């Protein structure tokens, strides 16, 4: 039992399930280290992920190249913290402890999520000037995705073993283990983004702002997706045998789509404050075709169902040479073969990236201290985005100009409370060029303090180049 508990807790804390989010820029080191309170501070190539209008602000670089190497990785769950692991690891788990674990998990089951970001080296993105005082930027991103949940009764099964139905009923539980309400999806997406921005000052804002800019980002998206649409099932052990039933419906496909972001940003008259407003994922849509070629591969859009049903199941049956058709009592096709899976449809379908409002602000308290605030509100959930509002506060302090230290706190959103810390080495000036050697961030997910962490995130960027700017 001790070994099972250790494996279960480590798996929950470290296992990955979701690997995409609103964009890799959310987890670039400078943004991640301030708990993603970064919408008003992003400049150059980073603006494309937060607010394209920031490209046109005067303190941004004339040219910039995204880090030659940047990557991020995070892992999290909704129930088990580091403190829980330390509490239960190496100790006897009594009935009270088991019930406490199940209570923390809740009726929705154990959910686990991961975000992974990777910028394509060298050609991953950059910003540049254009005629007529326009500024432009582009980015290539690869996003792999998946999410999952484990039914609460499966954890009950691991903790207590397979109990008889009457034993579970005696303690107020259902006689049947809910074992098949699995939730999840997988995706692989390639995203090309192109942004344009320009300064434009409405007369009504002239008394209050020294700069005002508007911008937009157009995105082309392609890839494949697979997801579980619905599933159900259970197992019940009686004195005379075990009843098992389960079914599920899944679908998969390949396709392409597009998206649009728009943004506005303004700088105060004294130049110390910046306000950013962006509407992300407007009109974003993906159409998953019946057949979608990708290189030497072809994705087929399809919907499949599977079901398993058995009565008086005995574990000894699995140890022999019995076929599945002999073990499970399922319908048979015309040829007499047991039917476990059948194709239920083949048609195109569409999904949408949730639209999101991003409001941010930054203020230079001193020449070496900057305070950032961020409010994010998605209008629906999906693709790693939660409709729960998120607020964040971040600080950047430069003890010396080439060593910025950053920290941040956030609440709400998909992961709830979180804290972050990070630092950078650079910029170093080489004539008109600035070089940032290293940027690093670490984030506690699910709690402000390390003991309450239900996951963690790490982000690193190497060798970022900028030309011009303040």
pLDDT at residue 148 tops 70 = yes
pLDDT at residue 57 tops 90 = yes
Residue 166's pLDDT is 84
pLDDT at residue 375 tops 60 = yes
pLDDT at residue 329 tops 60 = no
Confidence of residue 396 (pLDDT cuts 50, 70, 90): very high
How much is the average pLDDT of 299-319? 48
d(CA 216, CA 284): 13
Q: Which residue has the higher pLDDT, 46 or 448?
A: 46
Residue 17's pLDDT is 32
pTM for the whole structure: 0.76
- What count of residues does the chain have? 470
Q: Which residue has the higher pLDDT, 438 or 184?
A: 438
Residue 297's pLDDT is 42
Residue 310's pLDDT is 56
Using DSSP's 3-state secondary structure scheme, residue 132 falls into helix
Q: Which residue has the higher pLDDT, 13 or 59?
A: 59
In angstroms, what CA-CA distances link 120 with 2, 24, 53, 67, 138?
A: 43, 11, 23, 9, 12
Using DSSP's 3-state secondary structure scheme, residue 328 falls into coil
pLDDT at residue 316 tops 80 = no
Q: What is the mean pLDDT of the chain?
A: 79
Residue 302's pLDDT is 46
Residue 43's pLDDT is 94
How much is the average pLDDT of 374-392? 86
Residue 438's pLDDT is 94
> pLDDT by residue (tens digit) across 5-33?
443 333 333 333 333 334 445 778 999 99
pLDDT at residue 335 tops 60 = yes
Where along the chain do its domains lie? Answer: 2-301+346-467
Using DSSP's 3-state secondary structure scheme, residue 250 falls into strand
| Percent of the chain topping pLDDT 90 | 33
d(CA 130, CA 211): 18
> pLDDT by residue (tens digit) across 243-255?
777 777 777 777 8
How much is the average pLDDT of 30-42? 94
Nearest-10 Cα torsion for 20, 183, 453, 100: 180
Domain 2-301+346-467 classification at class level:
mainly beta
Residue 15's pLDDT is 35
> pLDDT by residue (tens digit) across 109-133?
887 776 677 666 656 788 999 999 9
* H runs (alpha helix) in 66-202: 82-88, 95-105, 152-160, 165-170
Contact 168, 138 (CB under 8 A): no
Residue 8's pLDDT is 39
pLDDT at residue 408 tops 80 = yes
How much is the average pLDDT of 41-66? 92
> pLDDT by residue (tens digit) across 437-455?
999 999 988 778 777 777 7
Q: Are strands 209-238 and 273-289 parallel, antiparallel or unpaired?
A: unpaired
Residue 291's pLDDT is 53
pLDDT at residue 169 tops 90 = no
> pLDDT by residue (tens digit) across 271-297?
999 999 999 988 777 777 655 444 444
pLDDT at residue 374 tops 90 = yes
């Amino acid at each position: 039992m001790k070994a099972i508990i250790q494996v279960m807790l480590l798996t929950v804390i470290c296992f990955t399930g979701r690997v995409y989010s609103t964009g890799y820029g959310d987890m670039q080191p400078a943004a991640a280290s301030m708990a993603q309170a970064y919408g008003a501070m992003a400049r150059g190539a980073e603006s494309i992920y937060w607010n394209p209008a920031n490209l046109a602000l005067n303190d941004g670089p004339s040219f910039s190249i995204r880090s030659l190497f940047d990557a991020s990785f995070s892992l999290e769950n909704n129930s088990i913290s580091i403190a829980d692991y330390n509490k239960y690891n190496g100790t006897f788990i009594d009935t009270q402890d088991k019930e406490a674990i199940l209570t923390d998990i809740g009726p929705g089951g154990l959910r686990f999520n991961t975000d992974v970001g990777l910028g394509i080296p060298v050609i991953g993105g950059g910003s540049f000037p254009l005629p007529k005082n326009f500024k432009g930027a582009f980015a290539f991103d690869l996003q792999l995705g998946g999410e999952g949940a484990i039914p609460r009764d499966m954890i009950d099964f691991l903790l207590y073993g397979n109990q008889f139905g009457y034993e579970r009923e005696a303690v107020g539980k259902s006689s049947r283990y809910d074992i098949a309400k699995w939730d999840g999806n997988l995706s692989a997406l390639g995203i090309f983004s192109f942004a344009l921005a320009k300064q434009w000052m409405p007369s009504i804002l002239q008394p209050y702002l020294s700069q005002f800019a508007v911008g937009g980002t157009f995105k082309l998206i392609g890839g494949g997706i697979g997801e579980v649409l619905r599933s159900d099932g259970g197992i019940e052990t009686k004195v005379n045998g075990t009843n098992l039933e389960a079914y599920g419906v899944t679908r998969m496909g390949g396709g392409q789509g597009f998206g649009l972001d728009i943004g506005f940003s303004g700088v105060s008259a004294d130049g110390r404050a910046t306000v950013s407003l962006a509407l992300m994922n407007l009109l974003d849509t993906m159409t998953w075709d019946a057949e979608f070629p990708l290189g030497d591969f072809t994705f087929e859009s399809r919907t499949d169902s599977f079901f398993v049903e058995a009565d008086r199941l005995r574990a000894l049956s699995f140890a022999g040479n019995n076929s599945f058709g002999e073990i499970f009592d399922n319908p048979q096709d015309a040829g007499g073969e047991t039917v476990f899976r059948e194709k239920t449809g083949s048609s195109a379908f569409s999904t949408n990236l949730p639209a999101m409002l991003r409001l941010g602000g930054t203020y230079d308290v001193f020449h070496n201290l900057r305070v950032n605030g961020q409010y994010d509100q998605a209008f629906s959930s999906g693709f790693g985005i939660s409709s729960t509002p998120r607020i964040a506060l971040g600080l950047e302090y430069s003890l010396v100009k080439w060593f910025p230290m950053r920290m941040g706190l956030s609440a709400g959103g998909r992961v709830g409370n979180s804290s972050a810390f990070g630092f950078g080495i650079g910029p170093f000036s080489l004539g008109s060029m600035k070089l940032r050697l290293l940027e690093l961030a670490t984030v506690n997910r699910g709690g402000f303090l390390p003991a309450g962490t239900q996951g963690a995130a790490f982000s690193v960027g190497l060798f970022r180049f900028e030309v011009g700017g303040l």
